[in-house]
Amino acid sequence: MLKIRRRQFLALGAGSAGAVILTELAGKLNQNLLQPALAGSQQHKSQDGLLELDLEAGYRPVRVGNTQAYLLSYNGQVPGPRLEANPGDTVRIHFTNNLSEPTNLHYHGLHITPQGNADNVFLSIPPKERLTYEFTIPPNHPAATFWYHPHHHGFVAEQVFGGLAGLFIVRGKLDEIPEVKAAQEEFLVLQDFALDANGRILAPNNMALMMGREGKLVTVNGQVNPNLSILAGGLLRLRFLNASASRFYRLKLEAHPLHLIATDGGALAEPVEVSELLLAPGERAEVLVRGERDSGQYRLLNLPYNRSGTGLMGNGRIKPGMNGMTGGMSNHDMGNQSQSPQVLATLTYRGSISRLALPKQLIPVTALPEPAVVRRLEFSMAMGAGRKMTFMFNNKTFDAKRVDTGVKLGTTEDWDLVNVDPDRMDHPFHIHVNSFQVVARNGQPEPYRAWKDTVLVQGGETLRIRIPFRDFSGKTVYHCHILDHEDLGMMGILEIRA
């Protein structure tokens, strides 16, 4: 009855004995030990300047929506526990790898050192081994919505798509603004899964690798269409994380504008009203919603979005049926091609209070100095012999032994991100350690300043971003946050030299 389909959950670690053992374990659990996962994830908050916890990555039965799934989880939960710390805190994470393949931890968006046992993506923690991560969050670190996830090159897409992701919240000035503090706070971790009939993760086919894998089961905090409540007259602070490996979310809340108050790396100077919000993988956004109706239910929607440009299927390079490109696509959902909106959550009015105001000012976003250097980074992909796909920056695929970009600590640079992908595919660019500001998009200045660490570069676009290299030297990376593209080479090594 139990089928061992190692490739379906660990395509790259399939040869190891660990995979077999874990699969058998899952089979036993399937027979007797199933119980629904806890509603909402565990939380760990720092106390007296220290955030310390045990964190285990493992393959476990987890309930997502009404489905019993077998996912990769942190401490048995999908999403993983929510961590909360303050600027100046020390963070100590006793990490155990119970997967059957190597992994590690990355602290996406945190401005901490990339060296040692901190935000070091070059560490490799083999199966069954442990490592204690320890670092300090700088005392002037901005408050924002950050997250942690695996970052072992070659395994990133598979492990994040398996469910490994959790929020890392840094508290601070933004949380103390009275209007923000008065708002009801909700975290929304957006994840999608492609499962077979037995709840096991489907292996990606070539098309899924090329587009980046997506799954039809779309979840918010591991739930399908959860309920959110709002008070008439009240304020709701929604903190979104796109923790999906490749899926984009074009968010819209029926009958309610969104008041954007923070992007990846921190608060805006003042709220910006938007009717919808596009979140590429890795991006975060915080919005305030005013309870401006009296009653009723309103859907939080994911509107259709085509992230593949126009060329992908039409240019004759990829034909359906080629080398299994279209085989087994049933539970994969590539590029949000679906033409109808999906419901992510439902907002319900429950009760009322006297009308709360939106904040007028948030936190100044300082202008960065003029750049010392301007660089150009071209994004592209190619199909090599045997239809081997490569994704590249400046025509080079990732090489762990090569430093692609050397910069000087304490300087500011402008990078032109130029998407020359022949398929006009979208690529969300992400850089570790330092947040940046977008200066211009296709030559047009941005309407307002914002701190970003992940930004969408659509097919054919050129973005100019300005990056300050502050406080920390060492080697780190930048990459496309469609994680299959990253694993297939669209990553470069940055060395910040003191």
- Report the interface residues with ligand C2O, using CB under 6 A: 106, 108, 149, 151, 282, 430, 432, 477, 479, 481
CA separation, residue 195 to residues 184, 191, 324, 342 (Å) = 34, 13, 19, 18
Paired strand residues for 389? 383
Q: Shortest approach of Cu ion to residue 488 CB, angstroms?
A: 9
Q: How far apart are CA 370 and CA 241, in angstroms?
A: 31
Q: Does 427 bind Cu ion (CB under 5 A)?
A: yes
Q: Which of 472, 433, 142, 428 is nearest to 281 (CA)?
A: 428
Cα dihedral 336, 339, 341, 342, rounded to 10, equals: -50
User: In the complex with ligand C2O, which residue's Cβ is closer, 119 or 196?
Assistant: 119
Q: From Cu ion, ligand C2O, none, which one binds at residue 427 (CB under 5 to 8 Å depending on kind)? A: Cu ion
What is the C-alpha separation between 64 and 45, in angstroms, rounded?
Answer: 25
Q: Which residue is nearest to ligand C2O (CB)?
A: 108
Q: At closest approach, how far in Å is the CB of 432 from ligand C2O? A: 6
> Quick one: what does residue 141 bind among ligand C2O, Cu ion, none, with the CB cut-off 5 to 8 Å set by partner type?
none
* Shorter beta-carbon distance to ligand C2O: residue 252 or 479: 479
Q: Is 153 an interacting residue with respect to Cu ion (CB under 5 A)?
A: no
Q: Which of the residues 431 through 470 are near Cu ion (CB under 5 A)? A: 432
Q: Judged by CB under 5 A, does residue 475 bind Cu ion?
A: no
The partner in contact with residue 485, picked from Cu ion, ligand C2O, none with C-beta cut-offs of 5 to 8 angstroms by kind, is: Cu ion
What is the C-alpha separation between 410 and 311, in angstroms, rounded? 41
What is the smallest separation between the CB atom of 417 and Cu ion, expressed in angstroms? 11
The nearest distance, CB 481 to ligand C2O, in angstroms, is 6
Q: Which is nearer to ligand C2O, 149 or 466 (CB)?
A: 149
3-class SS shares of the chain: helix, strand, coil, % to 5: 10, 45, 45
Among Cu ion, ligand C2O, none, what does residue 151 contact (CB within 5–8 Å per kind)? ligand C2O
User: Do 165 and 149 form a contact (C-beta atoms < 8 A)?
Assistant: yes
Residue 312 interacts, among Cu ion, ligand C2O, none and using kind-specific CB cut-offs from 5 to 8 Å, with none
Q: Which residues contact 197 (CB under 8 A, 6 or more apart)?
A: none
b or e along 260-281 (b: 16 or more beta carbons within 10 Å of the residue's beta carbon)?
bbbbbbbbbebbbeeeebbbbb
Would you give the DSSP letter of residue 26?
H
Minimum Å gap between C-beta 242 and ligand C2O is 10
CB nearer to ligand C2O: pick between 23 and 476: 476
The site string for Cu ion over 91-130 (x = CB under 5 A, - otherwise) reads -----------------x----------------------
Residue 451 tokens, joined = 């701190």
Min CB(402)–Cu ion separation in Å: 20
| Chain centroid to CA 363 | 24
Q: CB of residue 313 vs Cu ion: minimum separation in angstroms?
A: 17
Residue 114 DSSP label = S
Give the other-Cβ count within 10 Å of 101's Cβ.
Answer: 23
Q: Could you list the residues that contact Cu ion (CB under 5 A)? A: 108, 427, 432, 480, 482, 485
